[in-house]
């Protein structure tokens, strides 16, 4: 066996344990070094197994998708809310999720309404709280910034997008109160916002 044959044979017998391989290695320092170096690479490779941590964005996106697909529900186990959120907001901590749930309930009511004109009025009723809604947004962002700065940008983006969606959809509903698709979009946007609030309150923050 020569050096080329030895190297080729390592694909099949990688630990160089065959009789021919051992005979060649005894007489060839270069191939002995090669085998030793390949062993070093194999040993070092094992250390690469689980070294990296994904960014918080990954779980955030997973949770949004799971909620959108209806695969998860709120845990029944107690004490899962963010502690600092509870202590800092005191009794008022319920205002944000309550507002979100109210929006959601209104959305469901509007969607189920049969009279298009009345629907438009109901849909419009949900929006005037824009200033209040903005205030809630900023409060929520302060909380996210304080507890999980790494996720602040993600929440800001999500909130901005969902607020834009609400504005756009409301504009279309105002112009065309009978547009079923527009009403559905509006309610979907409110649901997404409700979901974001719920996530921030519930478990997205570490």
Partner 1 sequence: MRPEKGDLTEPRQHQSTDLSEAEAIERAKLGDAEAFQVLYDKHKRRVYSLCLRMTANTAEAEDLAQEAFLQLYRKIATFRGESAFSTWLHRLSVNVVLMHLRKKSLPVVSLEETTQGTEEDSPKKDFGADDLALAGSIDRLQLQRAVDSLPPGYRTIFVLHDIEGYEHNEIAKIAGCSIGNSKSQLHKARMKLRDLLKMNRAEKAGKSRAG
For partner 1, the binding residues (CB under 8 A) are: 3-4, 7-8, 10-12, 14, 29-30, 33-34, 37-38, 40-55, 57-59, 61-63, 65-66, 69, 71-77, 80, 202-203, 206
Nearest distance, CB of residue 191 and partner 1, angstroms: 17
Instruction: Using the minimum distance from each CB to partner 1, give the nearer residue, 68 or 121.
Output: 68
Nearest distance, CB of residue 179 and partner 1, angstroms: 32
Nearest distance, CB of residue 155 and partner 1, angstroms: 17
Instruction: Using the minimum distance from each CB to partner 1, give the nearer residue, 8 or 164.
Output: 8
Instruction: Using the minimum distance from each CB to partner 1, give the nearer residue, 26 or 167.
Output: 26
CA 160 to CA 200: how far, in whole Å?
A: 15
Instruction: Using the minimum distance from each CB to partner 1, give the nearer residue, 18 or 163.
Output: 18
CA 105 to CA 98: how far, in whole Å?
A: 10
CA 15 to CA 102: how far, in whole Å?
A: 68
Nearest distance, CB of residue 204 and partner 1, angstroms: 9
Structure tokens at 36: 């030793």
Nearest distance, CB of residue 6 and partner 1, angstroms: 9
CA 148 to CA 145: how far, in whole Å?
A: 6
Largest CA distance in the chain: 94
Which residue in 170, 41, 43 sits closest to 110, CA to CA?
170
Instruction: Using the minimum distance from each CB to partner 1, give the nearer residue, 27 or 47.
Output: 47
- Phi, psi at residue 81, to the nearest 5°? -75, 160
CA 154 to CA 46: how far, in whole Å?
A: 34
């Amino acid at each position: 066996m020569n050096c080329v044959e030895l190297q080729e044979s390592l694909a099949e017998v990688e630990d160089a344990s065959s009789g021919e391989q051992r005979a060649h290695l005894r007489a060839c320092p270069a191939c002995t070094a090669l085998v030793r170096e390949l062993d070093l690479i194999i040993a070092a490779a094992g250390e690469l197994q689980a070294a990296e941590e994904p960014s918080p964005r990954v779980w955030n996106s997973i949770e949004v998708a799971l909620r959108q697909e209806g695969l998860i529900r709120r845990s029944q186990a107690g004490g899962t809310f963010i502690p600092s959120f509870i202590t800092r907001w005191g009794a008022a901590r319920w205002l944000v999720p309550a507002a979100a749930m109210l929006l959601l309930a209104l959305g469901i009511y509007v969607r189920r309404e049969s009279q298009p004109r009345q629907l438009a009025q109901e849909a419009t009723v949900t929006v005037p709280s824009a200033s209040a809604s903005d205030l809630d947004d900023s409060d929520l962002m302060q909380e996210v910034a304080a507890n999980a700065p790494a996720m602040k940008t993600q929440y800001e983006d999500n909130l901005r997008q969902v607020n834009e969606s609400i504005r756009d959809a409301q504009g279309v509903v105002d112009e065309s109160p009978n547009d079923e698709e527009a009403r559905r979009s509006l309610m979907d946007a409110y649901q997404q916002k409700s979901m974001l609030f719920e996530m921030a309150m519930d478990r997205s923050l570490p």
